[in-house]
Structure formats: C-alpha cells, structure tokens
Amino acid sequence: MHEMSIAESLVDLIEEQGRSQGFSRVRLIRVKLGALGHVEPEALRFCFDAVSHGTIAEGADLDLETVAGEGWCARCSRSFAIAARYDICPVCGQSHVRMTAGDELRLAELEVE
C-alpha cells in the first residue's frame, strides 16, 4: 500500500510548513488527485488518519479533489479529455498524445490556525 508513504510525505510537508509559517493546528487539507494517477482516495484517507495521529494534522479534514484526465495531441495541437493513459487522439487517431492532467498528487491548500 504505497498510500502509506504518500500519507507520510503529506504529513511531513504539513509539519515543515507548520514550522516555517508558524501554525500549530490544521483544520482542512486540500489535495488534488489525478483521476488517472496511482492513488486510491479511500486508501489515502485511511493511511492519513493513521499517520497524522499525534501531529499538527491530526483531526484535519482531508478534502480530495479529483482532477480529470486531459491529453494534448502534438499533431493536432489540441487538448481533449482522456479516460486512460496512452489514449489516442480522438481527431487524428494517432498516439502523439501527451498527458497534461490527471496525474496530480499535489498539496494545494491548507486552512490553519
């Protein structure tokens, strides 16, 4: 379950921010998760609850925002929604598609006090 390491990294980041920005409690954590990424939201919640225990992030609400998959075709120079990695371009049918969204794993925002 790699979500455990990810939850640990998340709590580490928050504690670092707590030290540098001077807060001691976190109320809300907003995380952006790519829909085509490798993180299972429920597993991340479970691991976060376990890992945040005894830290400034304990008890914080974890808001997981899903970012839809998006690709960009280098041949057609246009963006479109993709449902899977390595999807082909819906216009030209070729696979010159670079994934531009949907792989996020980002700490977006904290509400602290």
Partner 1 sequence: MCMICGCGTGTDEHPGHEHHHHDHSHGADDAIDFGAGLAGVHLPGMSQQRIIRLEQDILSKNDGFANANRDRLKAVGMFALNLVSSPGSGKTSLLVRAITDLRSRFPIAVVEGDQQTSNDADRIRAACVPAIQINTGKGCHLDAHMVGHALDQLPLTPNGLLFIENVGNLVCPAAFDLGEAHPSASRRVATVWRNRCG
Q: Kindly list the residues in this chain that would bind partner 1 in the complex (CB under 8 A).
A: 1-2, 4-6, 9-10, 12-13, 17, 21, 23, 27, 31, 38-39, 105-113
Specify the residue, 90 or 99, whose C-beta has the smaller distance to partner 1.
Answer: 99
Least distance (Å) between residue 54 CB and partner 1: 19
Looking up tokens 């540098």 gives: 20
Looking up tokens 């030209």 gives: 92
Specify the residue, 73 or 110, whose C-beta has the smaller distance to partner 1.
Answer: 110
Least distance (Å) between residue 106 CB and partner 1: 6
User: Which residues, at least 6 apart from 16, have a Cβ–Cβ distance to it below 8 Å?
Assistant: none
Closest CA to 14 of 47, 48, 41: 48
Contact 41, 10 (CB under 8 A): no
Specify the residue, 5 or 91, whose C-beta has the smaller distance to partner 1.
Answer: 5
Specify the residue, 42 or 78, whose C-beta has the smaller distance to partner 1.
Answer: 42
Least distance (Å) between residue 29 CB and partner 1: 10
User: Which residues, at least 6 apart from 32, have a Cβ–Cβ distance to it below 8 Å?
Assistant: 65, 67, 104, 105, 106, 108
